[in-house]
Structure 1
Amino acid sequence: MILWDRIRENPELLTRTLRDPALVGLGANRAYYEYTRDSEYNAQGTDVFEDEDWDNLILLDACRADIYAEMTPFAGTPEVRESRGSASKQFVRGNFQDKTLHDVVYISGNRWYLQLQDELNCELHAYHDVERDVADGFVPSPEAVTQAVLDLKDEYPEKRLLIHYMQPHYPYLNAENDAFKLDKTGLRETIRASDVSYADVRRAYRDNLRYVLEHVQTLVEELDGKTVISSDHGEMLGDRLTPFPVRWVGHPPGIFTDKLTTVPWHVVSNGPRRKITADPPVSSDHVDMSEVEQNLKDLGYKL
């Protein structure tokens, strides 16, 4: 849907566009990818279940491949993959749609699977939602995700573990600048309303990545089998979108530029493989869906 169609559906968007001309560039880029990619997600990206081999797949939300490669504490040279989404919603659609994943347990700090599960036609062996214990209850800390995995891993000794941390995704938990505290208007509006620079954004993003990697390292040491670190999508940090070069921060859905779709793929341990079996689904955590929807809105997502 081109920008003008969006404006007809939501007249308030015209006011926003006049106040923020970069939205025109965003709309032009989105129209380009809608025209060139006939899918709700980036179908040419990697299917993490069918194309790849792993026992434990750790997703760092919104983690750029280039910055991860600079900062990773793990040995070896990270590879890269092309993600099926420029945002979590598309990643989930592109990887879970119409799948029977009776050998997978998803332990997640990201709630898009919950939001979309009625549309996905997907069966997991189990799903566990991680408690949101920081940023006024909007996101789970790296400590909470790590502890959830440590508490659950022995319950599923013959299952693949998909582990989804929310960091380095905004909010930037360790940022010194108060401007980066969670703002329900979103990261980009926060930046536009303050005096922070793109350099400040990149610094805060790196601090958040460093923070989560410390806890991922603890987890990797406890997991057996083949463990891979990757991401659901990348992040714009003042870089220019393509093909229309407007500067952006964040990860707008449907914009399949390299900075958003190139993600790390790093095999960080490859010990003796555990036996993996497929079994029917078991009861998953009960989560209030109205709370899920509000949580995603508070993080700046359009549902």
Structure 2
Amino acid sequence: MNTRTRLRRALDNPMLFLRQINRLYHRRFGRRGHNTDGIDIFAEDWDTLCILDACRYDMFARCSKLPGQLERRQSRGSATTEFLTANLDGRDLTDTVYVTANPQLYQNRESIAVDFHDVIHVWREEGWDEEYGTVLPETVTEYALRAAEKYPDKRLVVHYMQPHYPFIDSETDFDKGHLTGARQENVWNQLLLGTLAAEREDVWRIYEANLERALPHVETLLRNLEGKTVVTADHGNMVGERAFPLPIREWGHPRGIYTPELVSVPWLVHESGPRREIRADDAEVQSEQVTDEVVADRLRQLGYAE
């Protein structure tokens, strides 16, 4: 969605207009493009970085029984593209392999200039689950373990899709539009705009369940990888809390708004066995291309619309 379209939608809807005012405040009226209080993830010390998409610190602290020492950190972004741009753009990461269930790096490959040694796009045909309209966490763990075996001298970034929408095992029907091909607002925008009547407690319950669905598979990864592994998130998510400075009830993870619910993320450190000896190599050739239609459909099913 281009800037003109976003502006037109904001002017047509009071809630989107108020969100835009909050965004201008948080981004200092355009003087910063990301949360400058957030950490530089690649300046931190780790061998494997597991990213849980849209995982709030408070929810992780409540649900996780993963081994390790938990800290709270701030993310550089409140949405995946913002997080990726702020951490990746302009970097030589040829000592790192990125295993991702999220299509956003591929979607923004022209604007995010980064050199990984290899990028493994799990969301392509072989990793995509048509029944649920997402990439399941067990699939990501399987690909990550293969990558660790293939690249024993590289840092590994493993980007899970959960707890981000879609909600895998929920018995609700209001969140299943992505499976029908319906081109509708995602659940978070429906809640923001008042076109969906759902109780906050019900939304929180299925959002939390999506994290709990993923955690055992993250634990499998932790127990099968040696070295120093960190579990974190690209950003959090708002579930009806008041934003600021305009106190609208906010839902989802809009870009450029840096409330605690959106940028406070977990930083769980787990160490097991010897550290990896990391070295950089020339980037692997990325020969397989994906059509724009496939990428757009994946993003639609994952609820990427604002």
Question: Normalising to structure 1: TM-score of the pair?
Answer: 0.89
Aligned counterpart, 2:221: 219
Aligned counterpart, 1:28: 21
Residue 217 of structure 1 and its aligned partner are, at CA, apart by 0.9
Structure 2 CA distance, aligned partners of 1:285 and 1:74? 37
Aligned counterpart, 1:147: 142
Aligned counterpart, 2:169: 174
Residue 76 of structure 1 and its aligned partner are, at CA, apart by 4.3
Mean alpha-carbon deviation: is it higher for 134-143 or for 258-267? 134-143
Aligned counterpart, 2:251: 249
Structure 1 CA distance, aligned partners of 2:305 and 2:202? 26
AA aligned to 2:82 is Q
AA aligned to 1:29 is N
CA contact (8 A) 2:40 2:87 kept: yes
Aligned counterpart, 1:44: 37
2:116 match: secondary structure: strand
For 1:1-303, what aligned pairs fall within 5 Å after superposition?
A: 11-15=8-12, 17=13, 21-35=14-28, 38-50=31-43, 52-131=44-123, 132-134=127-129, 136=131, 138-183=133-178, 184-191=184-191, 192-284=194-286, 286-290=288-292, 291-302=294-305
AA aligned to 1:49 is F
CA contact (8 A) 1:109 1:164 kept: yes
Structure 2 CA distance, aligned partners of 1:12 and 1:61? 26
With over 3 angstroms needed to count, the CA separation of the structure-2 counterparts of 1:81 and 1:10, relative to structure 1, is: closer
Structure 2 CA distance, aligned partners of 1:163 and 1:126? 12
CA contact (8 A) 1:135 1:171 kept: no
AA aligned to 1:287 is Q
2:142 match: secondary structure: helix
Residue 68 of structure 1 and its aligned partner are, at CA, apart by 0.2
Structure 2 CA distance, aligned partners of 1:176 and 1:234? 23
Consecutive unaligned residues in structure 1, runs of 5 or more = none
Post-superposition Cα deviations, 1:90-118, rounded to whole Å, max 9, x if no partner, equal: 00000001100011000000111112222
1:42 match: secondary structure: coil
Structure 2 CA distance, aligned partners of 1:193 and 1:107? 36
2:271 match: secondary structure: strand
Structure 2 CA distance, aligned partners of 1:271 and 1:36? 47
AA aligned to 2:136 is S
Structure 2 CA distance, aligned partners of 1:285 and 1:261? 35
Structure 2 CA distance, aligned partners of 1:76 and 1:84? 23
Residue 298 of structure 1 and its aligned partner are, at CA, apart by 4.2
Residue 277 of structure 1 and its aligned partner are, at CA, apart by 0.8
1:57 match: secondary structure: strand
Residue 240 of structure 1 and its aligned partner are, at CA, apart by 1.3
Mean alpha-carbon deviation: is it higher for 100-109 or for 181-190? 181-190
Post-superposition Cα deviations, 1:35-64, rounded to whole Å, max 9, x if no partner, equal: 3562322233111012x0100000000000
Residue 13 of structure 1 and its aligned partner are, at CA, apart by 4.3
Number of paired residues?
Answer: 293
Structure 1 CA distance, aligned partners of 2:67 and 2:147? 26
AA aligned to 1:165 is Y
AA aligned to 2:185 is T
With over 3 angstroms needed to count, the CA separation of the structure-2 counterparts of 1:159 and 1:285, relative to structure 1, is: farther
Consecutive unaligned residues in structure 2, runs of 5 or more = 179-183
Aligned counterpart, 2:181: none
Q: How much identity, in percent, do the aligned residues show?
A: 38
